[in-house]
Amino acid sequence: MTDEGAVYGAADDRAARVLAVLGERGGTLAVAESLTGGLVAAELTAVPGASRTFRGSVTAYATDLKRDVLGVDGDLLAGRGAVDPEVARQMAAGVRRLLGAGWGVATTGVAGPDPQDGRPVGTVYVAVVGPAGAGKVSALRLNGDRTEIRKESVRRVLALLLSELSGNGRAQDTEQNGGN
C-alpha cells in the first residue's frame, strides 16, 4: 500500500467508486463542507481523473457563508442553527446549483471539542441532492475525537452518495452510531 493509500484508506475506495459511477453516467458532483473543512474534496481529488466528474467544493465553515454563498435560508439558520438536517439538505442543493453539478453533497455537524447550537459533539448531518432535486439526509451520532468524527463524516457522506447513485437510498434522517 502506498503512503497515500495509508492516509485515505477505505474512504478513498468509496471516493473512487463514486467517481467511477458518475463517470459512467456522465454525471458531475459538487461538495459543500462545514465540519469536514475540505476533507471530502480532498478524498475525491486524491483519485486520479477526478476532474472528469468533480466540479469543485465550497467550505462554508461560517454560518453567514452557508446563507450568503450556498443559499441556506437565513431564518432556518437563526432558528435552528447550522447543525440541522434541513441545513445540510439546503447546503447540498445550494452547492449543486452554485457549481452547476448534477449531484451535490454536504456535511454539517459538531466535531468538538464543545457542543454547538445545543447539539452534542458527534452530531452530524450529511446530505445528498441529485438531479431530480430531491434530497436524502442522514443523521449521524458519531463517537470519537474531533479527527475521528471528521473522518467518519467523510466516509458516511460518500457512502450515502453511493447508495443514492445505486438506487438503494434508505429513509431520510436515519440515525446511525459509530466511529471508525
> Which DSSP string corresponds to the chain?
--HHHHHHHHHHHHHHHHHHHHHHHT--EEEEESTTTTHHHHHHHTSTTGGGTEEEEEE--SHHHHHHTT---HHHHHHH-SSSHHHHHHHHHHHHHHHT-SEEEEEEE--SSS-BTTBPTTEEEEEEE-TTS-EEEEEEEE-S-HHHHHHHHHHHHHHHHHHHHTT----SSEEEEE--
pLDDT > 90: what percent of the chain?
Answer: 82
Q: What is the pLDDT of residue 176?
A: 38
Of the listed ranges 58-62, 78-82, 92-96, 175-179, the one predicted with least confidence? 175-179
Q: What mean pLDDT value characterizes the chain?
A: 89
Q: Are 163 and 171 in contact (CB under 8 A)?
A: no
Q: What distance in Å separates the CA atoms of residue 166 and residue 164, rounded to the nearest whole number? A: 5
Ordered by start, the domain boundaries in the chain are 3-178
Report the predicted TM-score, pTM, of the whole model to 2 decimal places. 0.88
Q: What is the pLDDT of residue 10?
A: 53
75 pLDDT tier (thresholds 50, 70, 90): very high
3-178 placed in CATH 3.40.50.300: no
